Structure 1
Amino acid sequence: MLRDVLLQQFQARLQGLPLRVQTWRGDILEGAGAKVHLELHTPKALKVLTSPTMGGLARAYVEGLIDLKGKAEDILRLGQAFCRADACRTGKGSEAWKWWRHTRLRDRKNIAYHYDVSNDFYSLWLDKNRVYSCAYFEATEDTLDSAQEKKLDLICRKLMLQPGERLLDIGCGWGGLILRAAEHYGVQATGITLSQNQHDYVQEQVRQRGLQGKVEVRLMDYRDVPEDIGYDKIASVGMFEHVGRRNLRPYFDKIARLLRPGGLVMNHGITSVALNSKGLSSGISEFVEQYVFPGGELVHASTVMQEMAAAGIEPLDAENLRPHYGRTLWEWVNRLEARETEAIRMIGEKRYRIWRIYMAGSAFAFDNNWLALFQILGGKPDAAGRQVYPFNRRHVYAT
């Protein structure tokens, strides 16, 4: 029977892997020193496992065809070996036809799909300030809470925030940066988001903290921010991944028009490691597109700086925080797994599986240099080409 042939092919791929497998018939296949338990709930799983991809395994797990039990890091490492996965795919084909992925309506729907799951769900595993981006682990003993506050301060110091300055945060999330910048650096902060849940949460935080008149949050697309009043400093943290490769130049053009001469902008976001990446291979990009971040696109850091410069913004400083994001994601995974029962009660088992496997896979990708996280600081020179900026980076690390 075809089923038996597929099972034999699957067994052949298991040679030398520390994996214990239980089939829907109760058969047990066990490799030496098994660290991960794989349960097959249906014969349909064999079609995935005989010619496996990491994205295919993730999809089978999310859809309940299989169960994966063990430490998430062991699962990902074994999955890479089982699928013989490489880091990324490259190519020169045009993706310009995907313009429709980044219309205002489509972007709003994409953001709502990911961020409007449930504020309470995100609070289960994010830090106390609900910062949903790479933390900065200055010391090995830093907790997630302290590392996220240090990341916010690192951005504020790189932007050289001064009391009374106007700060715009594009994609402000749950308000971690604008709230801290107003309370600790004395700026007038404005944040924009496309997520209704985030908008409502920040408004409530502003009220509770008595920051009316100092912090404003708007439910708004970055393309629609009024340009009549400029900003001294602009931050975009974990947002430009949603912009789309084709829209990077208009995105930075918009920032350049919003930024006052002499102003600074911080673009903090995930980038590809390969120069001409078309996304992670082994079905990973397709899984993320379908289940996690519809419309997300990554480019190399050099492309970010090229588009920034083309818009008249001078790149001044770039720092890769790749190891920090790997650790951040493992922190999130561990915290989510520790509250699995609550999470499933809030969002259901399927969505829980999506977030668990997505974040664990992302942590693995950062740890293995498949993805990078760059903070790129740019400045808008004045009419004479001058940009006031220190000759060294001491201000970045001063506390």
Structure 2
Amino acid sequence: MVATDTGRIETDTGRTDAAAAAIRHHYDIGNDFYRLWLDPTLSYSCALREQPDDTLEVAQERKLRHHLDAIDAGRARAVLDIGCGWGALLDRLSNRHGVARSVGLTLSPEQAEYVRAQHYPGVEVRVEDWLHYRPAERFDGIVSIGAFEHFARPDDGPAEKIRVYREFFTRCRDWLTPDGALSLQTIAYANMSAAQADTFMQREIFPDAELPTLAEITAAADGLFEICAITNGRLDYAWTCTEWARRLRAERAAATALVGPDAVARYARYLKLSAMGFRMGKLTLFRLVLRPYRSEYFAGRGTVIA
């Protein structure tokens, strides 16, 4: 358990149940629906756009390479993907980098079933919350893309959010080898407070989810991880959501046949509002590369840990 007191355990069990229900609400609408408007890798997170003529496919592949490079996947023997989605990163770890052991965590049974059906060598996917996961061995790298947004709940105050995030960072530090790395990608509040968040998004799209702020992330990681790199992909996400919306419009008839007109309208509205929020600077997207504060890591690197 994450704590010894009964109240804390009950709180985190309830948190896990709420997160799982929220994930199923959003992601288990059906793989075929998402396949209509995502890229072929089924990457449902911000792409990394560098050129004006980038396609969504190119930008999503670049995003995956960013995270693989951040953990030095070419030398990794074991990697953990927290919030693995439909397994695009797991595919590349297995088939391009030859990583012997990759574990993906998801709360969506539909996603897990899809990944298992691909039979990627060395890949294990688990329908399990990171709060309950107990690995037997350490990992050379941990990647988490688009999951951090689901760790806190709307009724959490800043102190409780930081507690949850710190629990996550503590576990990641303990799960990493001494020279391992964590590559984290998350949406965050920018020029907007939680009280100003659109109720439609919280009620209809991501129930029981709450975004972090950069201050909360850094406070939670303080003393556990060195933040080696941080980039802002706000405009990348505005563009990504616009591309998704365009593709959904083009496939409206097929999407409606799959999930019905109400669901299609709900997703179209959500993508439009998201693109607007990122473009206006109300929301942002952070990519962080973090390394654990350990004497082994800093030995010989000009820093002395007392």
User: TM-score, normalized by length of structure 2?
Assistant: 0.87
1:220 match: 128
Does 2:201 align with 1:288?
yes
User: The residue matched to 1:270 in structure 2 has which SS?
Assistant: strand
Does 2:214 align with 1:301?
yes
1:237 to 137, 142, 145: 145
**Alignment size in residue pairs:** 282
| Superposed counterparts of 1:20-59, under 5 Å | none
- Using the alignment, how far apart are the partners of 1:387 and 1:173 within structure 2? 36
Matched-pair contact (CA < 8 Å) for 1:102–1:295:
no
Shift >3 Å, 4+ stretches = 99-102
2:294 match: 382
Cα distance change of structure 1 residues 185 and 138 upon mapping to structure 2, 3 Å threshold:
farther
2:78 match: 166
Q: How many Å apart are 1:316 and its aligned residue?
A: 0.9
User: The residue matched to 2:295 in structure 1 has which SS?
Assistant: coil
**Higher gyration radius (CA):** 1
CA RMSD, Structure 1 to Structure 2 (Å): 2.0
Q: How many Å apart are 1:126 and its aligned residue?
A: 0.3
Cα distance change of structure 1 residues 160 and 102 upon mapping to structure 2, 3 Å threshold:
farther
User: The residue matched to 1:234 in structure 2 has which SS?
Assistant: strand
Q: How many Å apart are 1:385 and its aligned residue?
A: 5.7
Cα distance change of structure 1 residues 220 and 101 upon mapping to structure 2, 3 Å threshold:
closer
Matched-pair contact (CA < 8 Å) for 1:249–1:308:
yes
Flag structure 1 segments of 5+ consecutive residues without an equivalent.
1-98, 390-399
2:227 to 315, 318, 326: 315
- Using the alignment, how far apart are the partners of 1:345 and 1:272 within structure 2? 35
1:96-148 CA distances to partner (integer Å, 9 max, x unpaired)?
xxx68952222111110011001000000000010000001122111111110
2:69 match: 157
- Using the alignment, how far apart are the partners of 1:108 and 1:267 within structure 2? 20
Q: How many Å apart are 1:267 and its aligned residue?
A: 1.1
- Using the alignment, how far apart are the partners of 1:387 and 1:115 within structure 2? 44
Flag structure 2 segments of 5+ consecutive residues without an equivalent.
1-10, 153-160, 302-306
1:278 aligned partner, one-letter code: A
Q: How many Å apart are 1:190 and its aligned residue?
A: 1.2
- Structure with more contact order per residue of length (Cα contacts < 8 Å, sep ≥ 6): 2
User: The residue matched to 2:81 in structure 1 has which SS?
Assistant: strand
Between the aligned residues of both structures, percent identity stands at 32
1:257 aligned partner, one-letter code: D
1:258-297 CA distances to partner (integer Å, 9 max, x unpaired)?
11222100110101114x822434xx1x111110001111
Matched-pair contact (CA < 8 Å) for 1:262–1:387:
no
User: The residue matched to 1:186 in structure 2 has which SS?
Assistant: coil
- Using the alignment, how far apart are the partners of 2:148 and 2:300 within structure 1? 26
